[in-house]
Amino acid sequence: MFGSQFVLSAAQINTLAADLAPLGQQPGVRLALLLDLSGQEIVYIDSYGGLLIPSIAALAAGDMMATQEVGRLLGGSRNCNLIIQEHEELMILIARLGDGLLLMLATERSVPLGWARLALKRTSTRILEVVGNTTLSLAAPAPAMAMDAEFETDFAAQLNSIW
Amino acid sequence: MFINWGLGELNLKIVYYGPALSGKTANLQYIYANTPANLRSEMVSLKTQQDRTLLFDFLQLEMGKVKDLKPKFKLYTVPGQVYYAASRRLILQGVDGVVFVADSQAGRKVDNVESWFTMEQHLIEMRYDITTFPIIVQFNKRDIPHSLPIAQMRQQFGFEESRRCFEASALRGDGVFETLKTAMTQVVAQVQQKI
């Protein structure tokens, strides 16, 4: 079961962004998005700009979880590894990485499916080298003073200033 | 929880759980309508033709900068109908805190209690320690005539006196932000203990 603890250092984030970068250079790629199964976006390349990334991440995770459940109800007992959606104008692939990560690739229909699948596979391998293939855990230590005693007080004050 | 130390982002997930028609979606709709646009995402709702939640509602809230960190909260609702049990379990994946929305109407006692126990069951299956996990209780629909007295509501669940519960009318907005702010504060406190 995927736990709710995923912490990445700045160096790890930079490495992951660099891993995704080649996908963004391919003509016809609209979005490459690394997220976790709980719907948290981690890094992404938004080629056109302005996409609603948090909403897309939540829906992509929901899509994978729902598809997994359909498989289970049909008698399957293993993970769903890849979803391929063919829309009239675009193609969406969502691949599972390890226990708790997903990699989403959205392309124009003109992009060959074979390339997209291969690109996902290669990128997935590189990403798993960064974050590991096991259940995600507290991977990076917190910078000093990041959440010290004053944080809770300041946070409460911030909430009261908004609502 | 996902912490991005590179960007100083603290991404946390709160799920609104409860029986069908208890007001989970109404909570999110009120929050959406009464939060500055620059601090919230668009609200995503996956509904059936009968306007019931099919998979989830989703709303992201950004709190601005707090001591060099940017806390972001992803709020989800689960579908309340009994036959969507699988969906509810899926939405709880990776949750950092739960707001349990109970219906205060007298005839909803069985639904409230059943929903509470299935929530606990899901959390235990996911290896959460429910004795310390943030679960905030909201008694919704307090504006409806003949809603059950608070003492009886608490008795339904067998809550100890120490458990704080929030009275609300989500449609009018009463108690909505009080509940949300408490949930956020408890989730942040939990994170502080972990890191």
- Span B151-168, average pLDDT: 94
Q: Is pLDDT larger for residue A149 or for residue A81? A: A81
Q: How far is B146 from chain A (nearest CA, A)?
A: 30
Asked if B149 reaches chain A (Cβ–Cβ under 8 Å), the answer is no
Side chain identity at residue A28, one-letter code: G
Chain A residues touching B56 at Cβ < 8 A: 58, 62
Q: What is the helix, strand, coil percentage profile of chain B, to 5?
A: 35, 30, 35
CA B150 to the chain's CA centroid:
19
Phi, psi (5° rounding) for residue A38?
Answer: -90, 0
Please report which confidence band the pLDDT of residue A135 belongs to, taking 50, 70 and 90 as the band edges. Answer: very low
Q: Do B2 and A52 touch (CB under 8 A)?
A: no
Give the CA count within 13 Å in the CB-facing half-sphere of A158. Answer: 22
Residue of B nearest to A15 (CA): B6
- Per DSSP, the three-state class of B151 is helix
Q: Which pLDDT value is given to residue A143?
A: 63
Containing H/E element for B57?
strand B53-62
Q: Which of residues 108-137 of A touch B (CB under 8 A)?
A: none
Confidence band (pLDDT; 50, 70, 90) for A100?
confident
Q: How would you label B91-120 residue by residue, b for 16+ Cβ within 10 Å and e otherwise?
A: bbbbbbbbbbbbbbbeebbebbeebbebbb
The ipTM (two decimal places) reads: 0.84
Count of C-beta atoms within a 10 Å radius of residue B8: 17
Q: Which fold has domain B10-194?
A: Rossmann fold (3.40.50)
Using the Cβ of B69 and the Cβ atoms of chain A, whether some distance falls under 8 Å is answered with yes
Is the separation of the CB atoms in A34 and A102 below 8 Å? yes
Confirm or reject contact between B56 and chain A (CB < 8 A). yes
What residue ranges do the domains of chain B occupy? Answer: 10-194
Which pLDDT value is given to residue A1? 35
CATH class of residue range A10-162: alpha beta
Q: In chain A, what are the domain boundaries? A: 10-162
A135-154 residues touching B, CB cutoff 8 A: 138, 140, 142-143, 145-148, 150-152, 154
Give the C-alpha separation, A138 to B167, whole Å. 36
Residue whose structure tokens are 């124009």: A108
More confident residue, B52 or A21: A21
